[in-house]
Amino acid sequence: MAQHDYIIEIESLHTQLGRHVVHQNVNLNVHYGEVLSFVGSSGSGKTTLLRQILGLEQCVSGTVKVFGHLINDCDTSQLRRIRRHSGVLFQQGALFSALNVFDNIALPLRELRVLNQKMIRDLVMYKLDMVAIAAEHADKMPADLSGGMVKRVALARALALEPELLLLDEPTAGLDPELSKSFVSLIERLRVALNLTIVMVTHDLDTLKALSDRIAVFADQTIVAVDTPEAIYRHPHPYIRRYFSAVFD
């Protein structure tokens, strides 16, 4: 898609879900090619903001622009185009449990309705190889995979359409430290190879440190700071001090 100054621009965003105010006056710009991480307490609106970037959740006021397009104004076909350039790994339900590995990754490719069987097969096998899953696992069902493999297959599916923007919601949650480390290095490698911009939510300090170019901190129903990791670790805001003293301990 055509380049604008920022891949994502969020201005004066107010969000309410039912009677619950989630965001008040959220402002955020995401640069092309960076890894921006969201941290903040449970319920602070991180996942909601990711969903808004994909046009899956409405706001009360404010604007969300992705690839220079105002999400609030997008009709269904524009939204579909934007989503086609974005890959997402959701916090829950990373894979469709009724579909095997192959069909999970093939799903977004089939939805395009322009690729034949052979092209889909080649692309799926190529994506599997990219996330270091052997071809022999293609017929397996999600229930028969380890946690680390589920994450890798879900990543392969998120990358199926060769997105420019990758959204990761708690990518290493539930993985043991070793698997978590190898998943982080996989993301790092793919990020460089595919020239990705990544917006990621994580509670895991190792993942945060290993990947983030900048960190956005959610508190008081807004983003209270966005800066480099070094600056955030030294930030005077009381919530940020508490958050990082807790994780450093």
Contact residues: ligand ATP, CB under 6 A: 17-18, 20, 22, 40, 42-48, 91
Closest approach of ligand ATP to the CB of residue 170, in Å: 7
The binder of 104, among Mg ion, ligand ATP, none, by C-beta within 5 to 8 A per type, is none
What minimum distance in Å lies between the beta carbon of 142 and ligand ATP? 21
Does 47 contact Mg ion by CB under 5 A?
Answer: yes
Shortest CB 91 distance to ligand ATP, Å: 6
Coil, helix or strand at residue 46: helix
In the complex with ligand ATP, the residue whose CB is nearer, 52 or 86, is 52
If one asks whether residue 100 binds Mg ion (CB under 5 A), the answer comes out as no
Q: How far is the CB of 8 from ligand ATP (least distance, A)?
A: 16
Residue 4 buriedness (CB in 10 A; 0-12 / 13-18 / 19+): middle
Instruction: From 38, 28, 110, 113, select the one nearest 64 (Cα to Cα).
Output: 28
Distances (CA, A) of 152 to 8, 170, 195, 198: 26, 13, 18, 16
Residue 45 binds: one of Mg ion, ligand ATP, none (C-beta under 5 to 8 A by kind)? ligand ATP
**CA-CA distance, 83 to 225, in Å (whole number)?**
27
CA angle 156/157/158 to nearest 5° reads: 90
Residues 6+ positions from 138 with CB-CB distance below 8 Å: 100, 101, 102, 124, 125, 128
Residue nearest to Mg ion (CB): 47
Q: Where are the alpha helices (DSSP H) in 74-146?
A: 76-84, 101-111, 117-130
Closest CB 221 distance from ligand ATP, rounded Å: 9
Show Cβ contacts of residue 204 under 8 Å, excluding neighbours closer than 6 positions: 170, 172, 173, 180
15 belongs to the binding site for Mg ion (CB under 5 A): no
Per CB under 5 A, which region of 41-49, 152-160, 230-238, 240-248 contacts Mg ion?
Answer: 41-49
Among residues 48 and 100, whose Cβ is nearest to ligand ATP? 48
Please return the burial class of 37, using the count of CB atoms within 10 Å of its CB with bins 0-12, 13-18 and 19+: buried
Which one of ligand ATP, Mg ion, none interacts with residue 69, CB within 5 to 8 A by kind? Answer: none
From the list Mg ion, ligand ATP, none, which binds 117 (C-beta under 5 to 8 Å, kind-based)?
none
Question: Smallest gap, in angstroms, from Cβ of residue 194 to ligand ATP?
Answer: 26
3-state SS, residue 127: helix
Spatial contact of 197 and 7, defined as CB atoms under 8 Å apart = yes
Nearer to ligand ATP, 3 or 41 (CB): 41
Residues that bind Mg ion (CB under 5 A): 47, 91
